[in-house]
A = this chain, B = another copy of it.
Amino acid sequence: MTVLPVLPSAAAACCSPVTAGVLDDDQAEALARTFKALGDPNRVKLLSIIAASEGREACVCDLTEPVGLSQPTVSHHMKLLVEAGLVAREQRGRWAYFSIVPGALDSLAGALAPRP
């Protein structure tokens, strides 16, 4: 089958700014889910490593050593980042390449500090 689609949970967070009125339960839930994905130092670091990599993508083999975690653990963290809509996974040959979803971080930033 095709490439698995990005879950819309994070994308939905793009338009409910924290400071623009009381959030309803769904909005708060969606935002918290995305923030929770960023609530682990290793995941934040993984994100920065991907962003700093050549072509802004990296495979698990590139990520294991910098964070000092086992391969299953890195795979687990990447799954969470993908499910949060922050990272996209693409299988090319034997390797799985991860890249930052364009606009995902910007949308989240917009939910924190809406631009006028």
Contact = CB atoms under 8 A, between A and B. Distances in A.
A48 B23 contact: yes
Interface string A35-73: 110111111110111011000000000000010000000
A51 B113 CA distance: 12
A100 interface: yes
A15 interface: no
**How many of these chains are in the complex?**
2
Given A48-B21, A109-B112, A35 B32 contact: no
B52 A28 contact: no
Which residue, A42, A43, A44, has most C-beta atoms of chain B within 10 A?
Answer: A44
Interface of A: 18-23, 25, 28-29, 31-33, 35-36, 38-45, 47-49, 51-52, 66, 100, 105-106, 108-110, 112-113
